[in-house]
Amino acid sequence: MDRRKPLNPPGSAPAPADRDASRSPGGRASDGRGNDGRGADHRGPETRKPGVAAPVMVTPTNSNTRVTTGRPALTRTPLPASISRPDAVARAFNSNTRIGNPRTAMPVTVPQRTAPVTTPSRQDDNLGLNSERMRNALVARLRVQGIADERVLAAVQAIARHRFVDEALASRAYEDAALPIGHGQTISQPWIVARMIAAARNGKELGKVLEVGTGCGYQAAVLAGVAKEVYTIERIRALHELARTRLRPLRLPHVRLVFGDGMLGVPSAAPFDAIVVAAAGLSIPEALLGQLAIGARLIAPEGGARQRLVMIERTGAQSWVRTELEPVRFVPLQPGVLM
């Protein structure tokens, strides 16, 4: 059962007054084709969060995935030798997912249907995969597992996921599972991508959104199907460049890539109509809370060895409401950048 509670408990000190956030510490933003883009300066308040439990060591083996129960185990094909390298190994397969039986998950109820999202046609070198058929099957599974937002499902259907993974893993791209992308990170499980975006959207049209943790760029591409403008920030330089390469063929001028510390967000482009965080911290960074527009939602995993997906909705200038969703496993949210 979801538990809702105010982020600022009674009797706690109010958050500090707004102060200028004039420039993104994460660097300059650019679109998927390498063009620079800037956002107008806005103001965002700092906030204060309740204390959290002592840190628990989290490793790539217990992050960014769900753990299914009550279903037969999937038969896994061995990893090809071409990707058997220290930073992209099978241990990452159980990260960026939820924990629990997908058939009992709480649905995100958005009944309306909308026109499918389309991407520009181009020559399909999909390595023998029938991408459209497999994407349709993936969307059908997501619908059965409780994803009811047709706009999000159409966005998932429009993106060829195999283009965002190593060629050796292309045959597994349409499984509902996280896959390694190198540097101890993963491409998130399709269900968790759809769940987080649908919860953040809440049936509304989204203007400007922020993704923390670009990875290979897949979730940013899906977000581009439901939002007018997408900012996505990545702290690992190699992944930032990988995402740029993967997104460039899609020609999405409203997707802007930022290299920088995701825990600081992109204050120069705030406020955002939604924020989606693809890594788990022991608490939600206050900088991100301050960059939410009033009425907007932030969706993020939170915790150490045990994590839950949480939804935080900004209800006023100095008020937020927190709701706990299902158990998940994600890679840890870390500060700073890696060149």
Active site positions, annotated: 188
**How far is it, in rounded angstroms, from Cα 174 to Cα 127?**
13
Non-local (6+) Cβ contacts of 54 within 8 A are none
- Give the CA-trace dihedral at 163, 135, 276, 203, to 10 degrees: 150
The three state secondary structure string of the chain is CCEEEECCCCCCCCCCCCEEECCCCCCCEEECCCCEECCCCEEECCCCCCCCCCCCCCCHHHCEECCCCCCCCCCCCCCCHHHCECCECHHHHHEEEECCCHHHCCCECCCCCCCCCCCCCCCCCCCCCCHHHHHHHHHHHHHHCCECCHHHHHHHHHCCHHHHCCHHHHHHCCCCCCEEEECCEEECCHHHHHHHHHHHHCCCCEEEEEEECCCCCHHHHHHCCCEEEEEEEECEHHHHHHHHHHHHHHCCCCEEEEECCHHHCCHHHCCEEEEEECCEECCCCHHHHHCEEEEEEEEEEEECCCEEEEEEEEEECCEEEEEEEEEEECCECCCCCEC
C-alpha separations of 335 from 194, 296, 298, 308 in Å: 26, 24, 19, 20
Q: How many CA atoms lie within 13 A of 261 on its CB side?
A: 12
